[in-house]
A and B are shown apart, each in its own frame.
Chain A
Amino acid sequence: DTAVSQTPKYLVTQMGNDKSIKCEQNLGHDTMYWYKQDSKKFLKIMFSYNNKELIINETVPNRFSPKSPDKAHLNLHINSLELGDSAVYFCASSQGRGTSNTGELFFGEGSRLTVL
């Protein structure tokens, strides 16, 4: 079983559309994250949820809306897609709150979003 799984792995869509990415972890972790990795490989934190509570909300356009129905799931919905949203979006999870204890993030395989 994959520990952190994301779907879909690839999305190709037009500007202005809305899309969602889903993430599930079966590690029993309390905290889940969304990271964005741009074409230059820079991995930047977007959001973090601890046990369904939003704990990190970086400066991200409000077109991006995360939702955590339970602590094993974290979804990302993006409205009115723009060219600059093209990137790989990684979901990750960790035990504990805010990674202050272990620092080990377990990443999903990533979802490559291409906006045309």
Chain B
Amino acid sequence: QKEVEQNSGPLSVPEGAIASLNCTYSDRGSQSFFWYRQYSGKSPELIMSIYSNGDKEDGRFTAQLNKASQYVSLLIRDSQPSDSATYLCALSGTALIFGKGTTLSVSS
């Protein structure tokens, strides 16, 4: 059974800081990893996908993957109050398997 572990938080950062979200997974054979953002009362939306070891950058977001250590992370630079949400780590199998999410709070 594939499992994804995340610290539920809340993670609190001041506006303009870097937020670091982490995720570990159990299945060493997992190949594809995703970060979804979910605002309160809304549905999850994909913000980043990563398939290879290393970093992948998209605007203020950087996803990092280390398959040897079985962890995935998401860095959010210059955090904004609008980034306050729950961030869900997921890995791909016959369906996406989600972690329990980390709640991020960015204070202005």
Contacts and interface: CB of A to CB of B under 8 A. Distances in A.
A99 interface: yes
B57 interface: no
Contact of B95 (A56, A107, A109): A56
B38 interface: yes
Interface in A37-51: 40-45, 48
Contacts of B93: 98-100
- Secondary structure type dominating chain A contacts: loop
Interface residues of A, number: 22
Interface string A46-64: 0010000001100000000
Contacts of A66: none
Interface in B62-101: 86, 88, 90, 92-98, 100-101
Interface of B: 8, 32, 34, 38, 42-46, 49, 86, 88, 90, 92-98, 100-101, 103
Interface of A: 33, 40-45, 48, 55-56, 90, 98-100, 102-105, 107-110
Top 8 closest A-B pairs, CB basis? Answer: A107-B43, A98-B94, A43-B98, A45-B95, A103-B92, A41-B101, A42-B100, A103-B32
